[in-house]
């Protein structure tokens, strides 16, 4: 089998949190196009249902929608059980749901801070552990977490200390789990996207006016497209990345290089 053929995900089952739109929708598309059956997991159930139907039609794979708040341990456990029940197993997952709140540190409320940390870090912990427990007991698997270039640099000019701290936490959590599970068949990696043109950016009134400034700072002079994260995630989900664990993949058009 050639290398491209061996990167396919035929017969594999996985889910994507925050899969209804944006980056998660694109990686779910990549997984299904590579042959996997996929669950679209999201707080926004209506959009998840639409995305699942669209991907099933486009790829011919089984694609289901599951409503889940990734910050709720009981909902996360129920989501894993539903994935296993309806898809027949769990080989990989992309724990990707996240939000951003911008506020100067001295004005950020504890409620704002907690909301960001709860979704971006605690939510990744809950989904990683629930998926990891299943994979540890069922022959292994691959977990992909969405961090951000904000784990590596402090974005300017917008103030976003909670977001930056949450994403740095995702990378250390990823590495910690990778070490703990390295001999047990469960691999854990993260991706760190640069600025990507999704709703998170394009519908945020405080961020829209900054896009021109970011593009002026960006070596490629543009935002990334969510589709540009598909291939790295398909690689990480499958068996050709069998020696890759505990790694973070920066996909940012060289934004963090200087
Ligand atoms: P998006 O806002 O387009 O989509 C996020 C999805 O997550 C939404 O469908 C939302 O309903 C869902 N979601 C939010 N909270 C949830 C929860 N508690 N439980 C389940 N689902 C929840 O965002 P995006 O740009 O696609 O971002 C996806 C991930 O990528 C996030 O973790 C984000 O921090 C990260 N990221 C984005 C960028 C960017 O520039 N867009 C850059 C780096 C990292």
Residue 1 pLDDT: 85
Which is the catalytic residue, given 142, 148, 150, 190?
148
Ligand 1 centre to CA of 22 (Å) is 7
How many Å apart are CA 148 and CA 166, to the nearest integer? 9
Q: CB of 245 closer than 6 A to ligand 1?
A: no
Residue 167 is a catalytic residue: yes
Ligand 1 centre to CA of 21 (Å) is 8
Residue nearest to atom 31 of ligand 1 (CA): 98
Residue 148 is a catalytic residue: yes
Residue 238 pLDDT: 97
Q: Which uninterrupted H or E stretch holds 141?
A: strand 141-146
Strand partners, 13: 37
Distances (CA, A) of 165 to 116, 120, 150, 252: 9, 10, 8, 18
Residue nearest to atom 8 of ligand 1 (CA): 18
SS3 for 96? coil
Q: CB of 201 closer than 6 A to ligand 1?
A: yes
Q: In whole angstroms, how large is the CA radius of gyration of the chain?
A: 17
Q: CB of 234 closer than 6 A to ligand 1?
A: no
Which is the catalytic residue, given 15, 134, 163, 195?
163
Q: CB of 17 closer than 6 A to ligand 1?
A: yes
Instruction: Say if CB 43 and CB 67 are below 8 A apart.
Output: yes
Instruction: Say if CB 223 and CB 201 are below 8 A apart.
Output: yes
Residue 206 pLDDT: 86
Q: CB of 42 closer than 6 A to ligand 1?
A: yes
Strand partners, 40: 16, 65
| Per-residue pLDDT reduced to its tens digit, 227-247 | 999 999 999 999 999 999 999
How many Å apart are CA 257 and CA 187, to the nearest integer? 27
Spans of the chain, pLDDT less than 50:
none
């Amino acid at each position: 089998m050639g290398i491209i053929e061996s990167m396919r995900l035929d017969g594999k089952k996985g889910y994507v949190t925050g899969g209804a739109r944006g980056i998660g929708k694109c990686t779910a598309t990549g997984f299904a196009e590579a042959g996997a059956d996929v669950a679209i997991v999201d707080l926004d159930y209506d959009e998840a249902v639409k995305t699942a139907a669209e991907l099933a039609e486009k790829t011919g794979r089984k694609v289901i929608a599951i409503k889940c708040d990734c910050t709720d341990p009981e909902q996360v456990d129920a989501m894993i059980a539903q994935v296993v029940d309806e898809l027949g197993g769990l080989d990989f997952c992309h724990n990707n749901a996240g939000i951003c709140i911008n506020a100067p540190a001295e004005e950020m409320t504890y409620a704002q801070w907690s909301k960001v940390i709860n979704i971006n870090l605690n939510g990744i912990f809950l989904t990683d552990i629930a998926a990891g427990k299943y994979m540890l007991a069922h022959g292994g698997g691959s977990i992909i977490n969405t961090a951000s270039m904000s784990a590596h640099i402090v974005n300017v000019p917008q103030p976003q200390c909670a977001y930056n701290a949450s994403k740095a936490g995702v990378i250390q959590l990823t590495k910690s789990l990778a070490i703990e599970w390295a001999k047990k068949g469960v691999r854990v990696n993260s991706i760190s996207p640069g600025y990507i043109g999704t709703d998170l950016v394009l519908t945020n009134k405080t961020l829209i006016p900054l896009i021109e400034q970011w593009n002026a700072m960006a070596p490629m002079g543009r935002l990334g497209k969510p589709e540009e994260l598909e291939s790295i995630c398909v690689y990480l989900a499958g068996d050709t990345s069998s020696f890759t664990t505990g790694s973070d993949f920066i996909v940012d058009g060289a934004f963090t290089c200087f």
